[in-house]
Amino acid sequence: MKAAIIGGGVIGGGWAARFLLNGWDVAVADPDPEAERKINEVLAGARRSLPALYDRALPSEGTLSFCSLEDACEGADWVQESVPERLDIKHAVLAQLNAAAPESAVIASSTSGFKPSELTAQGARCIVAHPFNPVYLLPLIELVGDVPAGAADLLRGVGFSPLHVRKEIDAHIADRFLEAVWREALWLVKDGVATTEEIDESIRMGFGLRWAQMGLFETYRVAGGEAGMKHFMAQFGPALQWPWTKLMDVPEFTDELVDLIAGQSDAQSGHLSIRELERLRDDNLVGILRSLKRTNAAAGGVIAAHEASLPQASATPEALPITQDRVIPQTWTDYNGHMNEAHYLELGAAATDRFMEMIGADAAYIATGLSYFTTENHLQYLDEMHAGDHVRVSTQVLEGGPKKMHLFHRMMTPEGDVAATMETFLLHVDLSTRRSAPARGDVAEALATFAQAHAGMPRPEGAGRYVGQRG
């Protein structure tokens, strides 16, 4: 698959990263002589953060090229226009794209405000595919216009969550909310009620956390308590008649107001560079999104569904199966700047879970009332691992009986160096009695097959160690 990215600014760079890190070839067209540098800086941030959302490896990166608009469009499956928000510029570029792109290609604009009817007024075919920054992390894409069949599925394939806006409207859906909040915030600053930092605090310490997982209406439904949404509306509906907000009444953008806001913003965040702010933002988003993924909630559900579509390595008993292939997230590191000891255990536990799936002890099996319980672990920390490092885990079966499973996990760098090992012993359990019991026949047989094949392999160095034993 190939994506043509027309315009390599913040949004275009985010599109390029999203497609590229999901295995697409990406061609970027941008007359800016600094475009390649800027795109590669965005990619550096994306390579650090996007794979950290997942517990499986993303596809191998596609190829990235910088070329003319015509060459970028050649053979493209998706063409994304992200040029400045001026209708005359967009009309000129869209005319070029319609002439250069294949008929089968989706041509989409990242515009945050223009309607499809305005973009296509001069005869070009185009839909709106409006993303949110950072494009490589946030899943929402607003699709507006005559969306071709299959377009939404292509976007889901790279981890997006498409929202089809059924009626075209200025600024679509999400930006209308943002604009309303922005207008009110400008008045609060202008009237001396709050500074930029105080307004941001009110969002990130309060309702912003609720919105991240529930949105607006579901948040208010919960606020209604047991009586629900009707009670909330009855209780707070009258407040809509009170003069709480100014809405469309916007303060004049005088030099004085701009200087006031810019000065407060500098005092709030000026000690950090734009790249430091981007990294801070991305690290925080990864932590929030991974938390939501654990509960399959909101944006986390999109990531979980995308992760489930990513291929996992198959295994034959003749070779050591790869039970984890992933990138270490920032949330796994500690004050020493490397992966915290607890997360080596988490990584090993995930490898055990994957091996259980390989022998048939998967979620469906556990739903029948049978599973494995860990009774003992031993970890060796042999080398440091850091956020963004790629790690693979291989698993060797040391013993596999009707009730017992004894595994040895090697946690390896891409070069094959062993950074840590985990030896783990498990008992098969009947969940109804919470006591050991024989595994079901097919699972026991699959485990025995691995154990027999691995019996002829050298015993792993470190197996059977005790704490404090000299090397």
pLDDT in tens, 36-72: 999 999 999 999 999 999 999 999 999 999 999 999 9
Over residues 229-241, the pLDDT tens digits come to 887 778 877 777 7
Residue 471 has pLDDT above 80, yes or no: no
Over residues 110-134, the pLDDT tens digits come to 999 999 999 999 999 999 999 999 9
SS3 102: coil
pLDDT-based confidence at 455, cuts 50/70/90?
Answer: very high
Mean pLDDT of the chain: 94
Average pLDDT over residues 341-345: 97
Q: Which domains are seen in the chain, by residue range? A: 2-172 (3.40.50.720), 175-271 (1.10.1040.10), 313-455 (3.10.129.10)
Instruction: Give the H/E segment covering residue 217.
Output: helix 217-223
pTM for this model (two decimals): 0.89
pLDDT of residue 236: 75
pLDDT of residue 439: 98
pLDDT of residue 73: 98
Instruction: Name the one residue in this structure whose structure tokens are 């992200």.
Output: 82
pLDDT of residue 233: 77
Residue 62: closest CA among 91, 28, 11, 23? 23
Average pLDDT over residues 74-94: 97
Who contacts 42 (Cβ-Cβ below 8 Å, separation ≥6)? 10, 13, 14, 16, 17, 136
Contact between 411 and 420 under an 8 Å Cβ cutoff? The reply is yes
- Cα–Cα dist 445/252, whole Å: 76
Contact between 150 and 127 under an 8 Å Cβ cutoff? The reply is no
Q: Cis before residue 134, ω within 30 degrees of 0?
A: yes
- Cα–Cα dist 142/211, whole Å: 18
Residue percentage of the chain with pLDDT more than 70: 100
pLDDT of residue 248: 74
Look up residue 89 and give its two tokens: 């510029």
Instruction: Give the H/E segment covering residue 15.
Output: helix 10-20
Residue 380: closest CA among 471, 312, 270? 471
Over residues 360-393, the pLDDT tens digits come to 999 999 999 999 999 999 999 999 999 999 999 9
CA angle 342, 344, 346 (to 5 degrees): 75
pLDDT of residue 344: 98
- Amino acid at site 345: L
pLDDT-based confidence at 225, cuts 50/70/90?
Answer: confident
Lowest mean pLDDT among 152-156, 236-240, 268-272, 400-404: 236-240
Based on DSSP, count helices (H) and strands (E) in the chain, helices before strands.
17, 14
pLDDT of residue 184: 92
**What single DSSP character describes residue 204?**
I
Range list of H helices, 295-340: 298-309
Sign, CA torsion 206/209/210/212: positive
- Cα–Cα dist 104/120, whole Å: 17
Distances (CA, A) of 117 to 113, 170, 452: 12, 11, 67
Residue 317: closest CA among 283, 358, 287, 346? 358
Instruction: Give the H/E segment covering residue 391.
Output: strand 390-400
DSSP string covering 178-203:
HHHHHHHHHHHHHTTS--HHHHHHHI
Lowest mean pLDDT among 125-129, 314-318, 322-326: 314-318
Residue 343 has pLDDT above 80, yes or no: yes
Residue percentage of the chain with pLDDT more than 90: 82
- Cα–Cα dist 97/81, whole Å: 9
SS3 339: strand
**What single DSSP character describes residue 390?**
E
R_g over Cα of the chain: 27
